[in-house]
Amino acid sequence: MDGELARVASNQGNIFLRSQALESGYRSREIEGLLRSGEWVRVRRGAYTTRETWESRGPTGRYLLRVHAVVAALDGPVVCVGHTALAIAQVPLWGVPFDEVHVRRTDQHASRREAGVVHHRYDIPDADILEIGGVLVQVPELAALEAARMASFEAGVVLMDGARRLPAFDDERCAELLERQRNWPGSVHASRVFAFSDPRAATVGESRSRVLLARIGIPQPDLQKEIRDSSGRLIGITDLYVVQIRTAVESEIRAGTVRADRPPRRRGSRRRGVEREASRGSDPGRRQRDGPHRLARARRPRS
Protein backbone atom coordinates (compact mmCIF):
# COMPACT_ATOMS: atom_id res chain seq x y z
CA MET A 1 0.00 0.00 0.00
CA ASP A 2 1.49 3.28 -1.12
CA GLY A 3 0.54 6.76 -2.24
CA GLU A 4 -2.45 8.65 -0.91
CA LEU A 5 -4.01 5.60 0.79
CA ALA A 6 -0.85 5.11 2.87
CA ARG A 7 -1.12 8.73 3.98
CA VAL A 8 -4.78 8.27 4.92
CA ALA A 9 -4.05 5.11 6.94
CA SER A 10 -1.12 6.74 8.75
CA ASN A 11 -3.38 9.56 9.94
CA GLN A 12 -6.10 7.28 11.33
CA GLY A 13 -4.34 4.60 13.35
CA ASN A 14 -3.02 2.52 10.41
CA ILE A 15 -6.44 1.47 9.16
CA PHE A 16 -8.37 2.53 6.07
CA LEU A 17 -11.90 2.10 4.82
CA ARG A 18 -13.01 0.42 1.61
CA SER A 19 -14.46 3.72 0.43
CA GLN A 20 -11.08 5.39 0.99
CA ALA A 21 -9.31 2.69 -1.02
CA LEU A 22 -11.77 3.20 -3.89
CA GLU A 23 -11.25 6.96 -3.74
CA SER A 24 -7.49 6.36 -3.90
CA GLY A 25 -7.80 4.49 -7.18
CA TYR A 26 -8.14 0.86 -6.12
CA ARG A 27 -10.84 -1.17 -7.87
CA SER A 28 -13.20 -3.57 -6.13
CA ARG A 29 -11.64 -6.61 -7.81
CA GLU A 30 -8.18 -5.46 -6.76
CA ILE A 31 -9.30 -5.00 -3.15
CA GLU A 32 -10.80 -8.50 -3.04
CA GLY A 33 -7.58 -9.94 -4.47
CA LEU A 34 -5.45 -8.21 -1.84
CA LEU A 35 -7.72 -9.59 0.89
CA ARG A 36 -7.60 -13.13 -0.53
CA SER A 37 -3.82 -13.05 -0.80
CA GLY A 38 -3.51 -11.88 2.80
CA GLU A 39 -1.66 -8.70 1.87
CA TRP A 40 -4.56 -6.77 3.39
CA VAL A 41 -6.44 -7.91 6.52
CA ARG A 42 -10.06 -7.13 7.32
CA VAL A 43 -10.20 -5.42 10.74
CA ARG A 44 -13.99 -5.20 10.66
CA ARG A 45 -16.54 -4.92 7.89
CA GLY A 46 -15.38 -2.30 5.40
CA ALA A 47 -12.15 -1.50 7.26
CA TYR A 48 -8.71 -2.94 6.56
CA THR A 49 -5.04 -2.80 7.45
CA THR A 50 -1.90 -4.35 6.03
CA ARG A 51 -0.77 -7.84 7.00
CA GLU A 52 2.48 -6.38 8.34
CA THR A 53 0.59 -4.06 10.68
CA TRP A 54 -1.82 -6.78 11.83
CA GLU A 55 0.86 -9.37 12.55
CA SER A 56 3.00 -6.89 14.48
CA ARG A 57 0.22 -6.17 16.99
CA GLY A 58 -0.76 -8.10 20.09
CA PRO A 59 -4.33 -8.36 21.41
CA THR A 60 -4.43 -4.76 22.69
CA GLY A 61 -2.84 -3.43 19.50
CA ARG A 62 -5.41 -5.23 17.36
CA TYR A 63 -8.15 -3.91 19.59
CA LEU A 64 -6.86 -0.39 18.93
CA LEU A 65 -7.05 -1.05 15.20
CA ARG A 66 -10.72 -1.95 15.67
CA VAL A 67 -11.26 1.22 17.69
CA HIS A 68 -9.77 3.37 14.94
CA ALA A 69 -11.85 1.52 12.35
CA VAL A 70 -15.05 2.25 14.30
CA VAL A 71 -14.17 5.93 14.78
CA ALA A 72 -13.38 6.31 11.07
CA ALA A 73 -16.62 4.64 9.98
CA LEU A 74 -19.13 6.40 12.25
CA ASP A 75 -20.67 9.68 11.13
CA GLY A 76 -20.26 12.77 13.27
CA PRO A 77 -18.08 13.31 16.35
CA VAL A 78 -17.49 10.17 18.40
CA VAL A 79 -16.08 10.07 21.95
CA CYS A 80 -14.45 6.83 23.12
CA VAL A 81 -15.42 5.93 26.69
CA GLY A 82 -14.61 3.35 29.35
CA HIS A 83 -11.85 0.84 28.65
CA THR A 84 -11.83 1.92 25.00
CA ALA A 85 -10.73 5.41 26.07
CA LEU A 86 -8.12 3.88 28.40
CA ALA A 87 -6.73 1.84 25.51
CA ILE A 88 -6.28 5.00 23.45
CA ALA A 89 -4.45 6.52 26.44
CA GLN A 90 -2.08 3.51 26.43
CA VAL A 91 -3.37 1.99 29.68
CA PRO A 92 -2.73 -1.78 29.65
CA LEU A 93 -5.95 -3.77 29.31
CA TRP A 94 -6.83 -7.02 31.03
CA GLY A 95 -10.10 -8.81 31.74
CA VAL A 96 -12.22 -6.70 29.38
CA PRO A 97 -13.83 -7.75 26.07
CA PHE A 98 -11.69 -6.95 23.04
CA ASP A 99 -14.64 -7.47 20.71
CA GLU A 100 -16.55 -4.40 21.94
CA VAL A 101 -15.75 -0.76 21.26
CA HIS A 102 -17.46 1.69 23.64
CA VAL A 103 -18.38 5.11 22.25
CA ARG A 104 -20.53 8.10 23.09
CA ARG A 105 -22.23 9.61 20.07
CA THR A 106 -22.61 13.37 20.33
CA ASP A 107 -25.60 13.30 17.98
CA GLN A 108 -27.82 11.76 20.72
CA HIS A 109 -28.35 8.34 19.13
CA ALA A 110 -30.05 5.87 21.48
CA SER A 111 -27.98 3.45 23.56
CA ARG A 112 -27.50 0.15 21.75
CA ARG A 113 -25.09 -2.65 20.82
CA GLU A 114 -24.51 -3.08 17.13
CA ALA A 115 -21.78 -4.86 15.14
CA GLY A 116 -19.32 -4.91 18.04
CA VAL A 117 -19.94 -1.27 18.97
CA VAL A 118 -21.58 -0.26 22.27
CA HIS A 119 -23.25 3.14 21.84
CA HIS A 120 -23.73 4.99 25.13
CA ARG A 121 -26.19 7.81 25.60
CA TYR A 122 -25.26 10.36 28.24
CA ASP A 123 -23.88 13.88 28.23
CA ILE A 124 -20.13 14.50 28.47
CA PRO A 125 -19.17 18.14 29.06
CA ASP A 126 -16.52 19.50 26.69
CA ALA A 127 -14.20 19.94 29.68
CA ASP A 128 -14.27 16.15 30.19
CA ILE A 129 -13.15 15.32 26.64
CA LEU A 130 -9.57 15.05 25.45
CA GLU A 131 -8.09 14.47 22.01
CA ILE A 132 -5.36 11.82 21.75
CA GLY A 133 -3.88 11.13 18.33
CA GLY A 134 -6.90 12.61 16.60
CA VAL A 135 -9.39 10.53 18.63
CA LEU A 136 -11.78 12.07 21.18
CA VAL A 137 -11.80 10.30 24.56
CA GLN A 138 -13.13 10.77 28.08
CA VAL A 139 -10.70 12.21 30.60
CA PRO A 140 -8.92 9.32 32.37
CA GLU A 141 -10.80 9.73 35.67
CA LEU A 142 -14.19 9.28 33.96
CA ALA A 143 -12.92 6.52 31.70
CA ALA A 144 -11.48 4.55 34.62
CA LEU A 145 -14.69 4.82 36.65
CA GLU A 146 -16.78 3.86 33.62
CA ALA A 147 -14.60 0.81 33.04
CA ALA A 148 -14.60 -0.14 36.74
CA ARG A 149 -18.40 -0.09 36.90
CA MET A 150 -18.63 -2.65 34.10
CA ALA A 151 -15.61 -4.88 34.87
CA SER A 152 -14.89 -7.48 37.53
CA PHE A 153 -13.09 -6.30 40.65
CA GLU A 154 -9.75 -7.73 39.50
CA ALA A 155 -10.02 -6.27 36.01
CA GLY A 156 -11.18 -2.96 37.47
CA VAL A 157 -8.10 -2.80 39.72
CA VAL A 158 -5.82 -3.48 36.72
CA LEU A 159 -7.48 -0.67 34.76
CA MET A 160 -7.62 1.77 37.68
CA ASP A 161 -3.98 1.16 38.62
CA GLY A 162 -2.98 1.81 35.02
CA ALA A 163 -5.12 4.93 34.72
CA ARG A 164 -3.71 6.35 37.97
CA ARG A 165 -0.19 5.95 36.56
CA LEU A 166 -1.05 8.47 33.84
CA PRO A 167 0.50 11.90 34.55
CA ALA A 168 -2.83 13.62 33.85
CA PHE A 169 -4.81 11.52 36.35
CA ASP A 170 -6.15 13.51 39.32
CA ASP A 171 -7.07 11.45 42.40
CA GLU A 172 -9.08 14.25 43.97
CA ARG A 173 -11.10 14.75 40.82
CA CYS A 174 -11.78 11.02 40.64
CA ALA A 175 -13.05 11.03 44.23
CA GLU A 176 -15.31 14.00 43.42
CA LEU A 177 -16.70 12.21 40.37
CA LEU A 178 -17.40 9.13 42.47
CA GLU A 179 -19.39 11.25 44.90
CA ARG A 180 -21.39 12.75 42.03
CA GLN A 181 -22.05 9.30 40.59
CA ARG A 182 -22.90 7.56 43.87
CA ASN A 183 -26.44 6.74 42.66
CA TRP A 184 -25.29 5.37 39.33
CA PRO A 185 -25.46 1.61 38.70
CA GLY A 186 -22.15 0.04 39.67
CA SER A 187 -20.87 3.09 41.54
CA VAL A 188 -20.38 1.19 44.83
CA HIS A 189 -18.34 -1.41 42.99
CA ALA A 190 -16.28 1.33 41.31
CA SER A 191 -15.63 3.01 44.67
CA ARG A 192 -14.23 -0.26 46.08
CA VAL A 193 -11.97 -0.58 43.05
CA PHE A 194 -10.70 2.98 43.45
CA ALA A 195 -10.09 2.51 47.17
CA PHE A 196 -8.05 -0.67 46.56
CA SER A 197 -6.09 0.67 43.57
CA ASP A 198 -2.48 1.82 43.81
CA PRO A 199 -0.59 3.63 41.02
CA ARG A 200 2.67 2.15 42.31
CA ALA A 201 1.62 -1.19 40.80
CA ALA A 202 3.75 -0.96 37.66
CA THR A 203 2.33 -3.86 35.65
CA VAL A 204 -0.81 -5.89 35.09
CA GLY A 205 0.86 -8.74 36.99
CA GLU A 206 1.53 -6.58 40.04
CA SER A 207 -2.07 -5.35 40.10
CA ARG A 208 -3.45 -8.88 39.85
CA SER A 209 -0.98 -10.13 42.47
CA ARG A 210 -2.26 -7.57 44.98
CA VAL A 211 -5.83 -8.82 44.44
CA LEU A 212 -4.76 -12.44 44.82
CA LEU A 213 -2.75 -11.80 48.00
CA ALA A 214 -5.79 -10.11 49.54
CA ARG A 215 -7.97 -13.09 48.63
CA ILE A 216 -5.70 -15.53 50.43
CA GLY A 217 -5.39 -13.34 53.51
CA ILE A 218 -1.88 -11.97 53.08
CA PRO A 219 -1.42 -8.51 54.68
CA GLN A 220 -1.34 -5.52 52.36
CA PRO A 221 2.09 -5.35 50.68
CA ASP A 222 4.31 -2.34 50.18
CA LEU A 223 5.02 -1.75 46.48
CA GLN A 224 8.40 -1.07 44.86
CA LYS A 225 10.10 -1.63 48.20
CA GLU A 226 13.78 -0.69 48.25
CA ILE A 227 16.08 -3.26 49.85
CA ARG A 228 19.33 -1.82 51.23
CA ASP A 229 22.29 -3.38 52.94
CA SER A 230 23.64 -2.36 56.34
CA SER A 231 25.56 0.54 54.77
CA GLY A 232 22.45 1.95 53.14
CA ARG A 233 23.45 0.89 49.62
CA LEU A 234 20.50 0.01 47.36
CA ILE A 235 20.78 -3.63 46.32
CA GLY A 236 17.31 -4.34 44.94
CA ILE A 237 13.70 -3.28 44.53
CA THR A 238 10.87 -5.75 45.04
CA ASP A 239 7.52 -5.68 43.25
CA LEU A 240 5.71 -6.22 46.55
CA TYR A 241 7.00 -6.58 50.10
CA VAL A 242 4.93 -7.91 53.00
CA VAL A 243 6.38 -6.28 56.11
CA GLN A 244 4.58 -8.47 58.65
CA ILE A 245 6.17 -11.68 57.34
CA ARG A 246 9.33 -10.09 55.87
CA THR A 247 8.60 -11.60 52.46
CA ALA A 248 9.42 -10.18 49.07
CA VAL A 249 6.94 -11.05 46.32
CA GLU A 250 7.82 -10.88 42.64
CA SER A 251 4.72 -10.98 40.45
CA GLU A 252 4.92 -13.58 37.73
CA ILE A 253 1.39 -14.45 36.67
CA ARG A 254 1.60 -17.10 33.97
CA ALA A 255 -1.00 -19.77 33.29
CA GLY A 256 -2.89 -18.64 36.39
CA THR A 257 0.03 -18.83 38.83
CA VAL A 258 1.57 -16.21 41.08
CA ARG A 259 5.06 -16.98 42.31
CA ALA A 260 6.41 -15.41 45.45
CA ASP A 261 9.60 -17.40 45.73
CA ARG A 262 11.66 -15.30 43.37
CA PRO A 263 14.05 -12.81 44.97
CA PRO A 264 13.77 -9.06 44.21
CA ARG A 265 15.05 -7.62 40.95
CA ARG A 266 18.78 -7.22 41.14
CA ARG A 267 20.20 -3.79 40.46
CA GLY A 268 23.96 -4.05 40.49
CA SER A 269 24.17 -6.67 43.22
CA ARG A 270 24.16 -10.39 43.74
CA ARG A 271 20.91 -12.19 44.43
CA ARG A 272 22.16 -13.63 47.70
CA GLY A 273 22.66 -10.12 49.13
CA VAL A 274 19.07 -9.17 48.34
CA GLU A 275 17.73 -12.34 49.93
CA ARG A 276 19.82 -11.84 53.05
CA GLU A 277 18.84 -8.20 53.59
CA ALA A 278 15.16 -8.81 52.80
CA SER A 279 14.93 -11.38 55.56
CA ARG A 280 17.37 -9.83 58.05
CA GLY A 281 16.08 -9.78 61.60
CA SER A 282 13.65 -12.70 61.27
CA ASP A 283 14.31 -15.95 63.09
CA PRO A 284 14.83 -19.15 61.04
CA GLY A 285 11.68 -20.75 62.38
CA ARG A 286 9.58 -17.80 61.34
CA ARG A 287 11.09 -17.77 57.87
CA GLN A 288 10.21 -21.43 57.51
CA ARG A 289 6.64 -20.87 58.69
CA ASP A 290 5.87 -17.59 56.94
CA GLY A 291 8.48 -17.13 54.25
CA PRO A 292 8.23 -17.27 50.50
CA HIS A 293 7.94 -21.06 50.38
CA ARG A 294 4.49 -20.76 51.96
CA LEU A 295 3.50 -18.39 49.12
CA ALA A 296 5.38 -20.09 46.35
CA ARG A 297 2.43 -21.29 44.30
CA ALA A 298 -0.83 -19.66 45.27
CA ARG A 299 -3.09 -20.66 42.45
CA ARG A 300 -5.91 -18.45 41.31
CA PRO A 301 -9.38 -20.00 41.41
CA ARG A 302 -10.73 -20.87 38.01
CA SER A 303 -13.36 -18.46 36.79
pLDDT digits (tens, 9 = 90+) for 93-113: 999 999 999 999 766 556 778
Measured between alpha carbons, how far is 206 from 66 in angstroms, rounded to an integer? 28
Residue of higher predicted confidence among 51 and 238: 51
Q: Say if residue 147 is in the same domain as residue 164.
A: yes
Q: Say if residue 106 is in the same domain as residue 27.
A: no
pLDDT digits (tens, 9 = 90+) for 116-160: 899 888 888 889 999 999 999 999 999 999 999 999 999 999 999
Q: Say if residue 142 is in the same domain as residue 240.
A: no
Looking at residue 12, what DSSP letter applies?
A: T
Question: Residue length, the chain?
Answer: 303
Q: Say if residue 48 is in the same domain as residue 145.
A: no
**Backbone phi and psi for residue 106, each to the nearest 5 degrees, phi listed first:** -80, -5
Q: Say if residue 280 is in the same domain as residue 245.
A: yes
Measured between alpha carbons, how far is 76 from 160 in angstroms, rounded to an integer? 30
In-domain check, residue 64:
no
Q: Say if residue 78 is in the same domain as residue 185.
A: yes
Residue 110 sits in which domain range?
Answer: 74-196
Give how many domains the chain has, as a whole number.
3
Measured between alpha carbons, how far is 187 from 140 in angstroms, rounded to an integer? 16
